[in-house]
Amino acid sequence: MTISSSLNAGVAGLNANASRLASISDNIANSATLGYKRVETDFHSMVVGSGSDAVFTAGGVRSTSTRLIDERGSLVPSSNATDLSVNGRGMMPVTTSAAVNVGNGTLPLMLMTTGSFRPDAEGLLRTDTGMVLMGWPADADGTIPNFPRNTIGGLEPVRIGTNQFATDPTTKMQLSVNLPATGTMAGATGVPHELAVEYFDNLGIAENLNITFTPDVPATGASNTWTITIRDSASGDAVVGEYTLTFDSSPTLGGTLQSVTALSGGAYDPATGTVDLTLAGGPLALGLGQPGQPGGMTQVADQFAPGQITKNGSPVGALTSVEVDENGMMQAIFDTGITRTIYQIPVVDVPNLNGLKSLAGQVYQVAPESGAFFLWDASDGPTGSIAGFSREESATDVARELTDLIQTQRAYSSNAKVIQTVDEMLQETTNIKR
């Protein structure tokens, strides 16, 4: 029995070291595979019997192999903005292009720590192996709705249209214009001053606000009062607002705006110094300045001088590129210089990363051993940030694997020697009968 158990232990040793050799071979073969997670084979002794017998019985050894998914390789830079990696714990959600194309129900959730995503013919961001990046879509204003974190119901394939266009309407404008103080004095000509200011409507069309400043000329003295009439070219040059501006003439606040009275249009808010105009192309907050404060409308000297006029908005822009920041926000960059959030890429985490099911192509799936998943904002909670322009190297340490290879070879040879020795002993036993 003892000799037979020795033979069985030797065979078990051969099998265990063969398994370790297979994992080492796989690790070395994938030493240049980006995102590869190495496999580690551990040995566990087997005990046969209670140990109370006078003669020891060899139990042998068994092996278990584990893919160390929680080990991360170094990040290396790339030239593609949508080469993405998770810098720390967690994974990016992906699905298969086949499931997206079929479109017959809920998409399967798969996970990757790194991937080179590029738009295909349909605009889907996918890898060469057919993995499609998924994210939460942003609203038209660039904000991300509040999606559930324990389900993939809010996730959808990230689609980038190279022929995508975006409007950036003008919603705020600040006037900084000096009106001549001599224009409201007795004897002045009363000639109005005109100013045209361009803005962009909700369709990205360039329109004008045609503004007329008419002085109130008194019979004696100075009125320090002007009437501002605002017309909108998109409304057929109709009047959209008319206001009376009164300026301070005191020694300390001379020339600053004293009050604004609305004759038509939106009310004046002295706290912000703005009036709300309703234009054919959308609403616009026009800043005239706050009472007694510098900036905005002034009345000094004897010249009409439009100063700095600031506004937001831009013409229609064509999509030129996309980038993902460390918080997982995918920004669309347009040729007009505007940037808009179009998706948020969450980071998926599970309690036991090493319990994930491994698939080909450095792809993983949630399994009972991994625990339930949760969708985090990148850089939030236990998860890492998302790095664009980067790929994750293989977690294989070639020097370590070669060292393990030498040990495995020696151990395999030693187990083979045990089998050879048992064979010789059994031969000797057989020879006793002769």
- Asked whether residue 119 falls in the same domain as residue 90, the answer is yes
Contact 127, 168 (CB under 8 A): no
Please provide residue 102's backbone torsions phi and psi, each rounded to the nearest 5 degrees: -70, -45
Q: Are 157 and 132 in contact (CB under 8 A)?
A: yes
- Residue of 117, 179, 175, 101 whose CA lies nearest to 323: 117
Give domain status of residue 255, yes or no: yes
What's the CA gap between 236 and 280, in Å, rounded?
Answer: 9
Q: Which residue has the tokens 């950036």?
A: 168
Question: For residue 207, what are the CA distances in angstroms to 123, 283, 420?
Answer: 33, 13, 94
Q: Does one domain contain both 180 and 299?
A: yes
Specify if 319 maps to a domain: no
Amino acid residing at 341: T
Q: What is the DSSP string of 94-122?
A: EEEHHHHHH--SPPPPEEESEEE-EE-TT
125 found inside a domain: yes
Q: Decide if 82 contacts 159 (C-beta within 8 A).
A: no
- 283 domain-assigned: yes
pLDDT for 163 = 56
Q: Which helix (DSSP H) or strand (DSSP E) does residue 390 occupy?
A: strand 390-392
Query: How far, in Å, CA of 15 to CA of 304, rounded?
Result: 95
Query: Do 248 and 300 sit in the same domain of this protein?
Result: yes
Cα dihedral across residues 43, 47, 48, 53: positive or negative: positive
Residue 318 three-state SS = strand
- On whether residue 320 sits in a domain, the answer given is no
Same domain, 268 and 352: no
Regarding whether 363 and 298 lie in a shared domain, the answer is no
196 and 290, same domain (yes or no) = yes
Q: Count of residues for the chain?
A: 434
Task: Give me 303's structure tokens.
Answer: 């010249």
CB 313 within 8 A of CB 170: yes
Q: Within this chain, do residues 189 and 228 fall inside the same structural domain, yes or no?
A: yes
Token pair recorded at residue 234: 């998109």
C-alpha distances (whole Å) from 298 to each of 52, 187, 224, 301 are 104, 21, 11, 10
Q: Is residue 337 part of a domain?
A: no
Residue 361 lies in a domain: yes
CB 173 within 8 A of CB 279: no
Instruction: Write a three-state SS string for 164-190.
Output: CEEEECCCEEECCEEECHHHHECCCCC
405 and 353 both lie in a single domain: no
Identify whether the C-beta of residue 176 lies closer than 8 Å to the C-beta of residue 300: no
Assigned token pair, 326? 């460390």
| Structure tokens, 312 | 């937001």
Please count the structural domains in the chain: 3
Distance of CA 356 to the CA centre of its chain: 24
Please report, in tens digits, the pLDDT of each residue of the chain (434 residues total).
577 778 888 888 899 999 999 999 999 999 999 999 999 999 998 887 655 556 777 778 888 999 999 999 999 999 999 999 999 999 999 999 999 988 777 899 999 999 999 999 889 999 999 999 999 999 877 899 999 999 998 999 999 875 567 778 999 999 999 999 999 999 999 999 999 999 999 888 899 999 999 999 999 999 999 999 999 999 999 999 999 999 999 988 989 999 999 999 999 999 999 999 999 988 999 999 999 988 889 999 889 999 889 999 888 888 888 999 999 999 998 888 788 899 999 999 999 999 999 999 999 999 999 999 999 999 998 999 999 999 999 999 999 999 999 999 999 999 899 888 888 888 888 888 76
Same domain for 153 and 181: no
Residues 38 and 84 occupy one common structural domain: no
Cα 296 to Cα 184, 226, 310, 312, distances in angstroms:
19, 14, 11, 16
Q: What are phi and psi of 95, to 5 degrees?
A: -145, 180
| Helix orientation angle between 398-431 and 2-29, rounded to the nearest 10 degrees | 160
Beta bridge partners of 347: 376
Please check whether residues 194 and 278 belong to one and the same domain: yes
Q: Which domain holds residue 206?
A: 172-312
pLDDT of residue 334: 86
Q: What is the CATH number of the domain that holds 237?
A: 2.60.98.20
Residue 332 lies in a domain: no
- 123 with 52, same domain: the answer is no
DSSP bridge pairs for 173: 286, 311
3-state DSSP helix/strand/coil % of the chain, to nearest 5: 20, 40, 45
Of 218, 297, 286, give the one whose Cα is nearest residue 259.
Answer: 297
